[in-house]
Structure formats: C-alpha cells, structure tokens
Amino acid sequence: MSEPNNTSCNHDCDNCSSKQNGSCSGPSEEDLRLADTLAKIRHKLVVLSGKGGVGKTTVAVNLAMALALEGRKVGLLDVDVHGPSVPTMLGVKGARCESDGERILPVQVAGVRVISVDFFLEDTDSAVIWKGPMKYGVIKQFVSEVDWGELDDLVVDCPPGTGDEPLAICQMLQEGDTSAVIVTTPQEVAAADVRKSIDFCRKLSLPVAGVIENMSGFVCPHCGEITHIFKQGGGEALAAKMNVPFLGKIPIDPQVCEGADIGHPIMHYYGNTPTARAFISAIQPIMEKD
C-alpha cells in the first residue's frame, strides 16, 4: 500500500478527508487509493433518474452488459444503498465479495465486475438505516477499497433523485471523463424530473452523455412488433429542448421484466431482440468517444 504524502500538499484541502483541526496534513491513504483507482478507469457513466420505477437499474445493468459484449472491460457500481436491485437483476443476490488481503474483489458476472451493498449485508432483507456521512464513507470505500483493475467503463447505478448518494458519487468521480445518463419514461409528467436531473448535472458541472427514454412502446411477445400504447417521444423532445444528446428509446418488453426477476439481463440472454439492439444503439455515442 502507498504511504500517505505528508510532505507536500497540492490537492483540494477543503474537501479532503485528512483535514483535521483546521490544518491539512496532505491526502489520506484512502484519498491516494481513490486517486489510484480512478486513474485506471477511462470512462465513468453515472446513471440517474428523477424518480424511481422508470427503469434506471434496468438501463444501468444492460448498458454495462452491452459495453462488455463489445469487448470492453466494465465495472458496475450499485450505490443504491437502501434498495440495491442490481444483484437481483444479475442473478447474484446474496453473493459475497472476497478479498486478496489488501482490496475487495468485485463479484464477476458475464465479465462485468460488480459491487453492491447487498454483497456486504448479513441479512439481505434487512433495511439499511444510514445517514449521509455514513453513506458517503461506504460509497468512497466502494471506489477506493475495491480492486476494479483497469476499466474501460465504470457504470454507476444511483438511487432516484438528487440526494446524498448521487451527490457523493458524482463529486467523487468528477475528475477525468465522467458523464451522466438520464433515464426517463415518455410521458409528459416525467419531464419535470428530467429537468431536475439535468439541472443537478449542470450545478455539478457534470456533462450529460444523454437521455434514454425507457418503456417507450410495447414489444408484442408473439410477433415482436412495437406498439405505442402510451404517448411517445417525451424524453426525446425534452432532450432537444434542454440541448442534451438523446441516446435512444427502449421499449416495454416482457422479456426485460421477466429476465430482471430471474437474473437474466436481456443483453446477455436475448441479445438478438429489438430491445437488446436498442441498448446497443444507445451505447454507440459512448463507444465513439474512443
């Protein structure tokens, strides 16, 4: 492990964890490990939504899978500490992380390295009752204490809204190539939530990679045709109005929902479907950055 740098101080003293009694003794060992981890991650994608139930975790899981299927080294960090559903959607609920003696080793699923609070709970059905600073500490450990290795992409699934967890992770990952993917549904009522998410990003100077309109039309399980049972295009129109990219529409697909319940993400198990192709299309602007 690297020694803390006590002789020089060229970092952000106001925000560092070693600032005690009004003086700064330089970056802490944890801050150095955090910087070391982040230096090995090329792109960070934080998946946000204004409210719950719009399919944010579904999108985070399938974006990570889609990127891995393109041959990229991918990590998936679940910072939804109160309601982690990434492990369920990947079929690894209740899995345990191992350690190499120095760092925590992520759980591997189809080539994706995954970390979730669920892997550390004694009873996965127990409620997590943590206040802001505790959540900040845990999230920081999920980045700095985990052996993510060299990654092309780290996809982060945040809880909905603009609370402690999205704020903590967005500030922590701010250096380098970090951007937000905002998930919404096509209805007008979702527009106000997307505006808030975009405003959140702007206040944090976090670039918006784009908006994804999920649950946009229904895929018939018999013929595969997409029917627009609700209004469509709300997310796309809003993205244009707010001057942020639009990444694509993902239809309501019974295979997505069933797959999530049994831990079979559509990208991995039903790769040749219109829905899986919609995810592949959504990652193109991200891949084109290279």
Please report, as ranges, the residues that interact with ligand ADP according to CB under 6 A: 49, 52-58, 85, 214-215, 250, 252-253, 256-257, 260
Shorter beta-carbon distance to ligand ADP: residue 179 or 214: 214
Shorter beta-carbon distance to ligand ADP: residue 34 or 211: 211
Shorter beta-carbon distance to ligand ADP: residue 18 or 58: 58
Smallest distance, Å, CB 250 to ligand ADP?
5
Question: Which residue type occupies 279?
Answer: F
Shorter beta-carbon distance to ligand ADP: residue 22 or 53: 53
Collapsed DSSP state (helix, strand, coil) of residue 185: coil
Question: CA–CA separation, 218 vs 252, rounded Å?
Answer: 5
Smallest distance, Å, CB 10 to ligand ADP?
39
Smallest distance, Å, CB 146 to ligand ADP?
22
Shorter beta-carbon distance to ligand ADP: residue 104 or 219: 219
Smallest distance, Å, CB 62 to ligand ADP?
9
Q: Which residue's CB atom is positioned nearest to ligand ADP? A: 55
Q: 83 with 53: CB under 8 angstroms?
A: no
Tokens at 213, concatenated? 């309109």
13 φ, ψ (degrees, to nearest 5): -60, -35
Smallest distance, Å, CB 53 to ligand ADP?
5
CA dist list (Å): 216 to 159, 207, 229, 250: 21, 24, 9, 6
The DSSP secondary structure of 64-94, one letter per residue, reads: HHHHHHTT--EEEEE--SSS--HHHHHT-TT
The DSSP secondary structure of 206-264, one letter per residue, reads: --EEEEEEEEEEEE-TTT--EE--S---HHHHHHHHTT--EEEEEEE-HHHHHHHHHT-
Burial of 108 (0-12, 13-18, 19+ CB in 10 A): exposed
Question: Which residue type occupies 82?
Answer: H
Smallest distance, Å, CB 107 to ligand ADP?
19
Shorter beta-carbon distance to ligand ADP: residue 63 or 209: 63
Question: CA–CA separation, 71 vs 95, rounded Å?
Answer: 25
Smallest distance, Å, CB 176 to ligand ADP?
26
Shorter beta-carbon distance to ligand ADP: residue 240 or 257: 257
